[in-house]
């Protein structure tokens, strides 16, 4: 069956009919070292960060280098009074949000309230020097606080052993920072890309519900509350302790929650009124503190924060413990909170950078956030990052540079030094209301609906993350969702699409027969396209699937009583890479087809594929010019001539 005439040479005899088909050439030779270098570059330095240094004099290189490491040197020298005016407004605005949120989130992490304020003082200063985002407002965030608190609680009780708990929290923060900085330094930032948007939406909604449920303790005034996190144990604990509910607390909580949610709603409707929701928490704290103080409500069942220590962050490096039985837990907690806070910080930075049209270097940001947490862990701070809500307020309030973080930090410093006694009568219930009103924004139903509309599998990931967080645990819910996302990618590789192509009449264009209805098959040819890398995970499938295509095509021909089927054309335009197992596929296919009297033709193998096929002895036969074409059109027209020639000679034979 195999045509003996070299299609290329035959064509040259009939140039008047058709041009010589284009040769498929091997890619320009590159050494293993060059290949390795370019692959490493694309993997670890896709943004080519040293581009700006090229061809500069040494002095400029030095200045650029310093600016690269300390972005403050970029904007610092040109800082003006006009910029400062914008930054002071936004800085004070976010401070008014940061103080009550700091206290609340520390509460959420089972840490002393003052640690929340400490964490809003040092890290913003570090970030202002090292960070490259102009809008990020730094401080503790709800999800990382929740995860830190709940993970550490597995081994140590914050009530029975508060000092050990604090030590573990600081050590976890150190590991979170170390992990974040290492990711950035080793340029492995792409690891956080594996937290897809679908995963995050489900995860955050679940976490928001878990966080809100925890606040029922404060909002209802319950004293004996479960230590577990899940939906079921919390609700059962709430309804088993109905006797402990305190109506004074409930009324106060309800009023302030309504106030905060209304303020949130107003700001969402009119972004110009951003200060309404930004100021509401502080107003609530002041108002509730005055109410408690005036009515001596702390003697009527409303629990208050109590006396807080005055003064700036005490050093805490002596509290970091890198040994002992809790080391495993601490490292795991650092890893999980580190990834979570990094994801939030990077996403926030990128979002606002895109809005204002500047670039944020992901790996550099990771180093900044990581160092900030490492410094924080030795100055009594726990895990911090750029927070979504606070950064939005910062942006709306007109922040121009990272100086707004410095303004916030100074404000918090003043509070720490002089204003701490004022919080003595702040009721815990109002902190619960602040947390609930903050995390409500994390439940993003329109986005979930959007995902459902476009991609049902993505929605499944969202749903798994959500249900996993609510019913199993925060970390495991996240792990399940990431696992499913990765599994989906692997499944796509394991079961790649193979399409049957047809010719669009009057053109040389070949497209999917089941998509473009006007496309028609070419008699004698089965044209298939493979749409994925060919590797060990899919060769078995591809082998079976392609042979099934051939059998189906043969069966169809049998019905039509034709028997012109001679060539299987495999379009490799979409096969971006191949491994050693993939080479075997071609060998096996060729062997199976030979038995059927059909020939295998390859079209447009890309550089890497071409390269490897040439190196493999088994595939050398496939690399002959009459088995290899640059386009489907050229393959079909060139091979049609061969068929025609074969038929006419047969007919001549019959005629004589």
Q: Which residues in 446-465 contact a second copy (CB under 8 A)?
A: 450-451, 453-458
Token digits of residue 260: 């905060």
Pairing type for strands 525-530 and 567-571 reads: parallel
Rounded to a whole number of angstroms, the minimum distance from the CB of residue 491 to a second copy is: 7
Q: How far is the CB of 197 from a second copy (least distance, A)?
A: 5
Candidates 161, 310, 508, 556: give the one binding a second copy (CB under 8 A): 508
Integer-rounded Cα radius of gyration of the chain: 33
Cα distance between residue 396 and residue 137, in whole Å = 12
DSSP lists the bridge partners of residue 511 as 502
List the interface residues with a second copy, window 586-605 (CB under 8 A): 588, 591-592, 595, 604
CA distance 272 to 477: 37
Stretch that binds a second copy, among 27-35, 138-146, 210-218, 235-243 (CB under 8 A): 27-35
Residues within window 152-211 making contact with a second copy, judged by CB under 8 A: 190, 193-199
Which of 235, 354, 644, 651 is the binder for a second copy (CB under 8 A)? 354
Residue 558 binds to a second copy (criterion: CB under 8 A): no
Residue with tokens 């979409």: 574
Among 261, 576, 625, 645, binds a second copy (CB under 8 A): 576
Query: Which neighbouring-strand residues pair with 510?
Result: 503
**By C-beta, is 393 or 602 nearer to a second copy?**
602
- In the complex with a second copy, which residue's Cβ is closer, 307 or 615? 615
CA–CA gap between residue 87 and residue 92 (Å, rounded): 8
Q: Which distant-in-sequence residues (6+ apart) come within 8 Å of 297 by Cβ? A: 248, 252, 291, 427
Nearer to a second copy, 66 or 555 (CB): 555
Shortest Å distance, C-beta 133 to a second copy: 15
Q: How far apart are CA 264 and CA 288, in angstroms?
A: 18
Choice from 18, 300, 356, 515 touching a second copy (CB under 8 A): 515
| By the rule CB under 8 A, 232 interacts with a second copy | no
CB 249 within 8 A of CB 219: yes
For a second copy (CB under 8 A), the number of binding residues is 88
Q: Which of 236, 540, 562, 650 binds a second copy (CB under 8 A)?
A: 540
Residue that the structure tokens 């489907």 belong to: 632
> Which residue in the block uniquely carries the two structure tokens 């973080």?
405
Q: Does 535 bind a second copy (CB under 8 A)?
A: yes
Please, how many CA atoms are within 13 Å of residue 398, restricted to the half-sphere of its CB?
12
Q: Which is nearer to a second copy, 443 or 630 (CB)?
A: 630
Taking CB under 8 A as the criterion, the residue among 71, 91, 218, 362 binding a second copy is: 362
Measured from the CB atom, is 105 or 510 closer to a second copy?
510
CB-nearer residue toward a second copy: 1 or 489: 489
What is the C-alpha separation between 474 and 622, in angstroms, rounded?
Answer: 53
Range 36-65, binding a second copy (CB under 8 A): 36, 42-43, 46-48
SS3 534: strand
Q: Which is nearer to a second copy, 49 or 65 (CB)?
A: 49
386 forms bridges with which residues in the sheet? Answer: 138
599: tokens are 């020939």
For residue 465, the minimal CB distance to a second copy (Å) is 13
Question: Which residue, 13 or 456, is less far from a second copy as judged by CB?
Answer: 456
Can residue 548 be called a binding residue for a second copy (CB under 8 A)? yes
Which of 155, 244, 554, 579 is in the footprint of a second copy by CB under 8 A?
Answer: 579
Which is nearer to a second copy, 187 or 645 (by Cβ)? 187
d(Cα 33, Cα 36) in Å, to the nearest integer?
5
Under the binding rule (CB under 8 A), the answer on residue 545 touching a second copy is yes
User: Per CB under 8 A, which region of 269-277, 333-341, 389-397, 608-616 contacts a second copy?
Assistant: 608-616
Look at residue 385 and give its three-state secondary structure: strand
Q: How far apart are CA 146 and CA 169, in angstroms?
A: 12
Could you identify the residue written with the tokens 């936004």?
A: 90
Could you say which residues in the range 623-642 bind a second copy, by CB under 8 A? 630-631
Residue 1 is a binding residue for a second copy (CB under 8 A): no
Q: Which two tokens stand for residue 646?
A: 């074969």
Applying the rule CB under 8 A, the residues between 462 and 491 that interact with a second copy are 485-486, 489-491
Please check whether residue 117 is in contact with residue 412, taking contact to mean a CB–CB distance below 8 angstroms: yes
The alpha carbon torsion through 503, 505, 508, 514 (nearest 10 deg) reads: -30
* Touching a second copy, residues 323-342 (CB under 8 A): none
Single residue of 2, 28, 160, 323 touching a second copy by CB under 8 A: 28
CB of 473 within 8 A of CB of 442?
no
Instruction: Determine how many CB atoms are found less than 10 A away from the CB of residue 168.
Output: 27
């Amino acid at each position: 069956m195999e045509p003996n005439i070299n299609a290329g040479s035959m064509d040259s005899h009939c140039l008047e009919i058709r041009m010589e088909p284009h040769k498929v050439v091997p890619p320009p030779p590159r050494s293993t070292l060059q290949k390795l270098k370019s692959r490493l570059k694309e993997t670890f330095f896709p943004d080519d960060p040293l581009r700006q240094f090229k061809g500069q004099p040494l002095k400029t290189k030095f200045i650029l280098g310093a600016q690269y490491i300390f972005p403050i040197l970029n904007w610092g020298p040109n800082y003006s009074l006009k910029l400062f005016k914008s930054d002071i407004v936004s800085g004070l605005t976010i401070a008014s949000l940061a103080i009550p949120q700091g206290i609340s989130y520390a509460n959420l992490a089972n840490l002393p309230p003052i640690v929340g304020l400490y964490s809003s003082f040092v890290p913003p200063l570090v970030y202002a020097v090292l960070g490259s985002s102009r809008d990020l407002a730094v401080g503790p965030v709800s999800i990382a606080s929740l995860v830190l608190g709940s993970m550490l609680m597995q081994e140590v009780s914050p009530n029975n052993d508060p000092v050990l708990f604090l030590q573990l929290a600081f050590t976890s923060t150190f590991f979170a920072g170390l992990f974040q900085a290492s990711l950035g330094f080793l340029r492995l930032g792409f690891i956080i890309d594996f937290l897809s948007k679908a995963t995050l939406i489900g995860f955050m909604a679940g976490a928001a519900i878990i966080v809100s449920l925890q606040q029922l303790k404060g909002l209802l005034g319950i004293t004996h509350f479960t230590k577990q996190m899940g939906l079921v144990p919390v609700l059962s604990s709430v309804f088993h302790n109905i006797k402990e509910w305190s109506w004074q607390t409930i009324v106060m909580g309800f009023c302030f929650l309504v106030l905060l949610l209304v303020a949130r709603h107003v700001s969402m409707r009119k972004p110009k009124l951003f200060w309404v929701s930004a100021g509401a928490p502080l107003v609530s704290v002041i108002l509730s503190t005055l109410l408690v103080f005036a009515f001596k409500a702390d003697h009527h069942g409303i629990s208050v924060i109590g006396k807080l220590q005055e003064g700036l962050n005490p050093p805490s490096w002596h509290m970091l413990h890198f040994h002992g039985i809790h080391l495993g837990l601490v490292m795991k907690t650092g890893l999980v909170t580190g990834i979570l806070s990094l994801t939030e910080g990077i996403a926030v930075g990128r979002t606002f950078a895109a809005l204002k049209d500047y670039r944020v270097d992901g790996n550099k940001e990771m180093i900044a956030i990581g160092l900030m947490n490492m410094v924080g862990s030795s100055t009594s701070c726990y895990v911090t990052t750029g927070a979504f809500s606070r950064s939005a307020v910062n942006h709306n309030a007109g922040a121009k540079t990272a100086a707004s973080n410095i303004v916030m930090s100074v404000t918090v410093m003043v509070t720490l030094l002089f204003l701490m006694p004022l919080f003595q009568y702040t009721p815990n219930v109002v902190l619960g209301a602040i947390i609930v009103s903050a995390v409500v924004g994390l439940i993003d139903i329109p986005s979930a609906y959007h995902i459902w509309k476009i991609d049902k599998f993505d929605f499944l990931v969202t749903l798994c993350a959500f249900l996993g967080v609510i019913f199993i645990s925060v970390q495991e819910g996240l792990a399940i969702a990431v696992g499913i996302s990765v599994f989906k990618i692997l499944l796509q590789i394991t079961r790649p699409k193979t399409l049957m192509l047809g010719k669009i009449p009057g053109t040389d264009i070949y497209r999917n027969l089941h998509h473009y209805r006007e496309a028609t098959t070419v008699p004698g040819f089965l044209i298939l396209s493979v749409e994925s890398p060919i590797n060990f995970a899919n060769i078995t499938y591809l082998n079976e699937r392609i042979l099934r295509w051939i059998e189906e095509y043969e069966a169809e021909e049998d019905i039509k009583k034709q028997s012109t089927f001679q060539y299987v054309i495999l379009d490799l335009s979409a096969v971006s890479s191949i491994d050693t197992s993939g080479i075997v596929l071609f060998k096996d296919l060729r062997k199976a087809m030979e038995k059927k009297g059909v020939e295998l033709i390859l079209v447009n193998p890309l550089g890497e594929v071409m390269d490897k096929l040439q190196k493999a002895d088994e595939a050398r036969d496939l690399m002959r010019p009459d088995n290899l074409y640059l386009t489907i059109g050229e393959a079909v027209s060139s091979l049609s001539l061969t068929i025609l020639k074969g038929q006419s000679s047969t007919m001549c034979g019959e005629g004589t």
